[in-house]
A = this chain, B = another copy of it.
Amino acid sequence: MITKTPKPPYYAVIFSSIRTEGNNGYSAMADLMVELAKQQDGFLGMESARNDLGITVSYWKNLEAIKIWKDHAEHKIAIEKGRSDWYKSFKTRIAKVERDYEFEK
């Protein structure tokens, strides 16, 4: 469940969000977006957790891969529905991972 990413540098898109009430088709679209993201060139993986605040971090090979995914036709529809229906607020941060380290028992 913790994404195996290659050696840095690579990119992280940190998406923090507060949902509106109700599902309104959100879950089906979220599942579809995960499937579509996995098919993108340069996609390295994704981690997600949600309580009141949701955090999804997707990992990408480079900025170009992030831009192509941002402009993907079905993703653009999802982004639009996110603004109109699913999110009270969100913040997206695009960050270059410079170092990482891990621990496993």
Q: Which residues of B contact A54 (CB under 8 A)?
A: 49
Chain A binding site: helix, strand, loop or mixed by DSSP? strand
State how many copies of this chain the complex holds.
Answer: 2
Residues of B within 8 A of A2 (CB): 16-18, 53, 89-91
Contact A92 B97 (CB under 8 A): no
Q: Determine whether A94 belongs to the interface, using a CB cutoff of 8 Å to chain B.
A: yes
Beta-carbon contacts of A1-27 to B below 8 Å, as 1s and 0s? 111010010001010111010000000
Known A-B contacts: A12-B93, A14-B57. Give 15 more (CB < 8 A).
Answer: A1-B18, A1-B53, A2-B53, A2-B89, A47-B55, A49-B49, A49-B54, A50-B51, A90-B103, A91-B102, A92-B102, A93-B97, A93-B99, A93-B100, A94-B98
